[in-house]
């Protein structure tokens, strides 16, 4: 297969045909994010005498490096250089990248497009999916995560991307989340069926409606 189409990355903002701004998939789902895991993590850092901000920043850097290197590898580019990253962070990223390449090769994954920004005129939102890919004869949505687990809002995100793809004439057979943990350079793969995506779509559309209602309520309460 030829080199995948690069969609240009995430724009600073999404615009509808009439020029008005539209919220992104992650902005919408983030409004309803479960903070329980974050609160537990912060508590454990404090209990163990760990500088939460330092750990958070280092983990975010490691995750960012891994995500960038995955994109570089998909497009056959030289790996992005991170001169300020510690050797520990780079080591985590290398381990995650190696595991990603092993998963890609074992499953014969071929990438059709990456970082493809799309806008829904029907539901007034935008989003940039990480990848559209072929696994065997199946075309699937790919999403890369750097957190410590898969959260419910991640399935809603997949639902938002699925809605965007369908509105723009793309057909998919399911979705896959590749998770690159921040701390240990590990790797995990999670596959989702069309039924899972339908559930995610239903959740996302309700979040989309509540997002507008929440904005109106904030104005009333101000």
Between 75 and 205, the higher pLDDT residue: 205
How far apart CA 5 and CA 211 sit, in angstroms, is 32
The torsion angles phi and psi of 194, rounded to 5 degrees, stand at -65, -35
Residue 7 lies in a domain: no
22-65 tens-digit pLDDT: 999 999 999 887 644 444 534 454 555 544 344 444 444 677 78
Tell me, yes or no, whether 3 lies in a domain. no
Please tell me which residue, 115 or 59, carries the higher pLDDT value: 115
Domain containing 205: what range? 23-217
Of the ranges 153-162, 177-186, 210-219, which is most confident? 153-162
Q: What is the pTM of this model?
A: 0.85
Indicate whether 184 pLDDT > 90.
Answer: no
d(CA 23, CA 27): 6
Averaged confidence pLDDT in the chain: 87
Could you write out the three-class secondary structure of the chain?
Answer: CCCCEECCCCCCCEECCCCCEECEHHHHHHCCCCCHHHHHHHHHHHHCCCCHHHHHHHHHHHHHHHHHHHHHHHCCCCCCCCCCCCHHHHHHHHHHHHHHHHHHHHHCEEEEEEEEEEEECCCCEEEEEEEEEEECCEEEEEEEECCCCCCHHHHHHHHHHHHHHHHCCCCCCCEEEEECCCCCCCCEEEEECHHHHHHHHHHHHHHHHHHHHHHHHHHHHC
Q: How confident is the model at residue 94 (pLDDT cuts 50, 70, 90)?
A: very high
Does the residue 4 lie in any domain? no
Query: What mean pLDDT comes out for the span 91-115?
Result: 94
For 78-90, the pLDDT digits (tens) are 999 999 888 988 9
Domain count along the chain: 1
Q: Is residue 139 part of a domain?
A: yes
Does the residue 136 lie in any domain?
yes
Write the CATH number for 124: 3.90.320
Both tokens assigned to 117: 């920004």
Residue 222 lies in a domain: no
* Structural domain includes residue 11: no
pLDDT tens, residue by residue, 119-178: 999 999 999 999 999 999 999 999 999 877 899 999 999 999 999 999 999 999 999 999
* Greater model confidence, 48 or 76: 76
Residue 100's pLDDT is 94
73 belongs to a structural domain: yes
């Amino acid at each position: 297969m030829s080199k995948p189409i690069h969609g240009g990355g995430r724009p600073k903002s999404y615009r509808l045909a009439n020029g008005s701004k539209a919220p992104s998939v992650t902005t919408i789902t983030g409004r309803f994010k479960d903070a329980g895991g974050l609160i537990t993590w912060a508590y454990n850092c404090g209990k163990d005498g760990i500088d939460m901000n330092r750990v958070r920043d280092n983990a975010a850097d490691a995750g960012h490096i891994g995500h960038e290197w995955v994109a570089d590898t998909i497009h056959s580019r030289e790996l992005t250089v991170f001169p300020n990253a510690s050797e520990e962070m780079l080591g985590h990223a290398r381990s995650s990248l190696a595991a990603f390449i092993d998963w890609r090769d074992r499953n014969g994954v071929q990438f059709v497009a990456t970082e493809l920004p799309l806008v829904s005129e029907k539901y007034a939102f935008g989003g940039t999916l990480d990848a559209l890919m072929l696994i065997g004869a199946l075309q699937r949505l790919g999403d890369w995560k750097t957190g410590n687990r898969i959260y419910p809002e991640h399935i809603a995100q997949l639902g938002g991307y699925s809605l965007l793809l369908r509105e723009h004439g793309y057909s998919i057979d399911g979705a896959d989340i590749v998770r690159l943990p921040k701390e240990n350079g590990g790797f995990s793969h999670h596959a989702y069926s069309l039924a899972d995506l339908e559930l995610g779509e239903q959740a996302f559309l309700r979040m989309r409606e509540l997002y507008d209602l929440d904005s109106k309520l904030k104005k009333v309460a101000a």
